[in-house]
Amino acid sequence: MRILLSNDDGIYAPGLAALYEAVRSLGDVSVVAPSGEQSAVGHAITLSDPIKTKKIFRNGEFFGHAVGGTPADCVKLAACALLDRRPDLVISGINLGPNAGISVIYSGTVSAATEGTILGIPSMAISIGTFKDPLWETAARVARHLASMVHRDGLPPRTLLNVNVPNLPLEQIRGFAITRMGESRFVETFDRRTDPRGNVYYWMDGALEQSGETEGSDLDALNQGYVSLTPIWFDLTNRDALPVLRKWDLARPADWPKT
Amino acid sequence: MRILLSNDDGIYAPGLAALYEAVRSLGDVSVVAPSGEQSAVGHAITLSDPIKTKKIFRNGEFFGHAVGGTPADCVKLAACALLDRRPDLVISGINLGPNAGISVIYSGTVSAATEGTILGIPSMAISIGTFKDPLWETAARVARHLASMVHRDGLPPRTLLNVNVPNLPLEQIRGFAITRMGESRFVETFDRRTDPRGNVYYWMDGALEQSGETEGSDLDALNQGYVSLTPIWFDLTNRDALPVLRKWDLARPADWPKT
């Protein structure tokens, strides 16, 4: 199988190296990843600027392409231009820090997998549930296990797998939980400062807030020591809201009251 | 009512000016928009850099805050730091070009409204279905009409309104259609070039491809001369896929076959 790896922490990130080592014996592995950190870029793509690429070598051996763009750019460019053949599987990660709850919509890691899914390639995003002292080996073993499964069994149509792995030794992982994206989110604060020339700027900061129903959510599973598997897609329609809106009294513009 | 306006075409964009003129008599209108164009940035936020702000004046009168960040940054910063009081309604636009089909996930215009929704503020994104010779007046009138409706009736929980307006004179608009996000998307091509120093770079280009079931979709309504109203939310879980994944045979890591 042909596997494309990407991420949002950049081509030199240790999580990507761990993923590469874990899956390289499964098939023909290509790496196309951002040249620098691209966290929280969401599903940004580069339309108005050129996208630079550079071949990266490790220990004298070709490792992959560094791309001066976003994670979504990387997957598009890989599938449409850089690779000789279309990949059979896209894996994005391993991200340092969880991608769970509302944070998923800001995630560059998930967006690379979303892009694979849009292109019709089975795709998964994998993240580790810590920002420090990551046990890469656990998440890398999980990635390898799931890569084989997804390649064998496929994924539901237009759906990627968002994987969050607890930061525990492999033998302490309690198993897998099929979850929904939760509603926990970072509640932002802005630190206002003034530069030496009197101009105002802000630094965004924030703290994670659990909100909404947490049972069955991605973060809940992670906190309980399970690998969280969330089926994610890119159809943003709230279907439950369609009948509500259809009841609105929407006159044609010609019949609007004069204002 | 307190209305916050933002966009992704930047604070000097004519679509924002048209929106401002259309809604200013509805209440207390604030503008917080990117200092430059931020198209296709998706739901990017600025975590690793300072966010600069600048007050912008038009005809000697304060118009709004220009933000050196993304549309999502603008709405976060407005609601959490720049404005004295929380807005009652967020309107993002008027975008030059439709935000329909899969393009919605790349849309900075929609992401500003998504951010408002995450913050619990009724929000809408409004775009005009053309890239040239826009009839702003039509979309501006539609925005004003919908702003009053949304303020009066509210929106379904955790849902924003994604509005696409045909580029027609107001009297030729056939009415409103409640739609789902379609599957049409830009199919990318990459133009490979070499800079004067021999480095490779690419320009992304692409063409819109209609795909999937188009009936009832946002783009279908737009093409038929209706204003398309799509209820959009930020829960990316594919609920139909949950039972499929639950049938997977997911052993605990301790029981994995040795590889």
Q: Does the CB of B137 have a partner CB in chain A at under 8 Å?
A: no
| Mean pLDDT in residue range A196-205 | 93
Mean pLDDT (chain A, rounded):
93
**Does A231 contact B237 at a Cβ distance shorter than 8 Å?**
yes
Residue of B nearest to A182 (CA): B235
Domains and CATH numbers, chain B: 2-183+213-255 (3.40.1210.10)
**Cβ neighbours of A23 in B, within 8 Å:** none
Taking the complete model, does pTM exceed 0.90, yes or no? yes
Portion 62-81 of A in contact with B at CB < 8 A: 68, 72-73, 76-77, 80-81
Q: Which residues of A touch B113 (CB under 8 A)?
A: none
Mean pLDDT of A86-96: 97
Check B238 against A245: CB less than 8 A apart. no
Percentage, residues of chain A above pLDDT 90: 83
Residue of B201, B241, B259 lying closest to A156 (CB–CB): B241
User: Sorting pLDDT into bands at 50, 70 and 90, what band is A185?
Assistant: confident
> B204: burial class by Cβ within 10 Å (0-12, 13-18, 19+)?
buried
pLDDT at A214 (0 to 100): 85
In this predicted structure, what is the pLDDT of residue A258? 63
Q: Identify the three-state secondary structure at position B204.
A: strand
Q: What is the pLDDT of residues B77-122, one digit of tens each?
A: 999 999 999 999 999 999 999 999 999 999 999 999 999 999 999 9
pLDDT value, residue B259: 55
Q: To which H or E segment does residue A43 belong?
A: none
Amino acid occupying residue B238: N
**Which residues of chain B make contact with A95, given a CB cutoff of 8 A?**
none
Q: How far apart are CA B1 and CA A244, in angstroms?
A: 23
ipTM entry: 0.91
Nearest to B77 among A44, A156, A202 (CB): A202
According to the model, what pLDDT value does residue B6 have?
98
Burial code (b: 16+ CB inside 10 Å, e: under 16) for A72-105 equals bbbbbbbbbbbbeeebbbbbbbbbbbbbbbbbbb
